[in-house]
Chains A and B, each alone.
Chain A
Amino acid sequence: MNEARYLIERKGNVHTTLVETQQAEDQLIEAAKQGNRDAFGELVLIHYQGVINVVYRMTGEMPLAEDVAQETFIRAWTKLHTYRPIGSFRSWVYRIANNAALDILRRRKEEVDIDDLPLAVPGNGVEQSVIHQQQAEVIRKAVLALPAASRSVLVLREYESLSYQEIADSLEIPLGTVMSRLAYARGKLKQELSRQLEVV
């Protein structure tokens, strides 16, 4: 455990290689599986932003995304013994996040009513023009209007840069399905956005 913590603390260090980070994560997972909460806390710190991002892109609501992300990690803790290090831990956690987001949406009568979505808070420190904000709004709504199955694939690819294989692992679908859903989502978005924005 100390070794794992040491490796994680060195993550910012330029000399830390990807392999070392992976080993450190494996050790943290192993420790967390034994019930070590500190180790699990480290895993939360590594992945919480990505999890919030996935849920936010799936639901379009920010304070909600934080709550669902917490729920995701609690589910991950209770299911940790089912995790097998065949795929990446990230894709495993994102699967839980995606399912948690879909549960929320389902509870809200299938898809969110995209016209009722609150206007997103502009990024702090970043001066966004009004036009830029409106554009972001249009894009967000277009993404939320996609069918959930292809939206999940698009979110994991565009916002979290998962590889096709990781997406396939995460959503438990074949590679071919990842590709077809992604192509569908992008085609649909292009169509929708070119209708609403002059750009694209």
Chain B
Amino acid sequence: MNDQITGNHVHQWLNAYHDGELRGRKLERVQAHLEYCPECQAALAELQDLSALLGADPLPPISLAPEQFAAQVNLRLPRQAQAPSILPVTSAGSGRWLWAILPLAMMGLIWFLQSVTWVSSLLNLIEVLGINPNAVSWLLPAQNAPVNPVQSIALAALDLSVPFNANIFLSLVLPLVFAGFYLVWLALWWINQQEEDKRFQTASS
């Protein structure tokens, strides 16, 4: 082959040409080149031989008839349809997860807040009553200096200190908040369930 043509070989386009992926000018250029270049012709023939070889190995027979295959797949499909639910979830699987986790997380939060309230109430009571203040002083803020026991008993009898009041308020409100959350969750769950049933009915009809 003369050097002028050798410099313009179309090797890098032969795969695309062989696969019918070339259009327009590029296709024309490759076709024109193939007319006279035996080297590129040989390379193209190799590609064609390879495809023929690969194509000569047929898919072994499938054990199931098409309908059997489809029926088996149908049997194994999860019951739940995959259309997006009212909760912003990515799939049916994580949706179910979220349903279970939501009330649990809420209960965990309530328990945590409840126990914090309890402990601080207890500490307040101890402080107010002046029962061995040194034993618990490490739990209390530093500026809370030990108080006179007599004074504090009188205080406890007459009046409840401010943090103590706040704790009572919290312990009253928290269950209400929790009950509200629970009702909302129940309503969402019920709506979701209704939709699920509807979907299942259309799917099985």
A residues adjacent to B (C-beta < 8 A)? 33-37, 40-41, 44-45, 48-49, 52-53, 56, 62-63, 66, 69-70, 73-74, 77-81, 120-121, 123-124, 126, 132, 135-136, 139-140, 143, 157-159, 163-164, 179, 182-183, 186, 189-190, 193, 199-200
Contact = CB atoms under 8 A, between A and B. Distances in A.
Interface in B65-115: 66-67, 69-74, 76-78, 81-84, 91-93
B118 interface: no
Nearest to A157: B19
B64 to A, nearest CB: 7
Contacts, number: 125
Contacts of A159: 54-55
B93 A189 contact: no
Contact of A53 (B59, B61, B73, B200): B59
Nearest to B90: A82
20 contacts: A35-B83, A35-B199, A36-B202, A37-B203, A40-B77, A41-B70, A41-B71, A44-B74, A48-B70, A66-B63, A70-B73, A81-B83, A120-B60, A123-B60, A124-B61, A139-B53, A182-B15, A190-B46, A190-B50, A193-B53
Nearest to B51: A158
Interface of B is mostly: helix
A81 B78 contact: no
Contacts of A36: 202-203
B70 A45 contact: yes
A70 B76 contact: yes
B16 interface: yes
B203 to A, nearest CB: 4
Q: Which of B16, B60, B72, B84 has the most CB of A within 10 A?
A: B60
A121 B83 contact: no
Q: Which of A45, A77, A159, A200 has the most CB of B within 10 A?
A: A77
A136 B56 contact: yes
B83 A34 contact: yes
Nearest to A81: B82
A164 B12 CA distance: 15
A48 B50 contact: no
B70 A164 contact: no
Nearest to B77: A77
A98 B33 CA distance: 37
A64 B23 CA distance: 40
Contacts of B61: 121, 123-124
B158 interface: no
A176 to B, nearest CB: 11
Given A69-B69, A123-B61, 20 more contacts: A35-B203, A45-B70, A48-B66, A48-B70, A49-B59, A49-B62, A66-B62, A74-B73, A74-B78, A78-B82, A79-B91, A81-B84, A81-B91, A123-B60, A135-B53, A164-B19, A183-B15, A200-B49, A200-B50, A200-B53
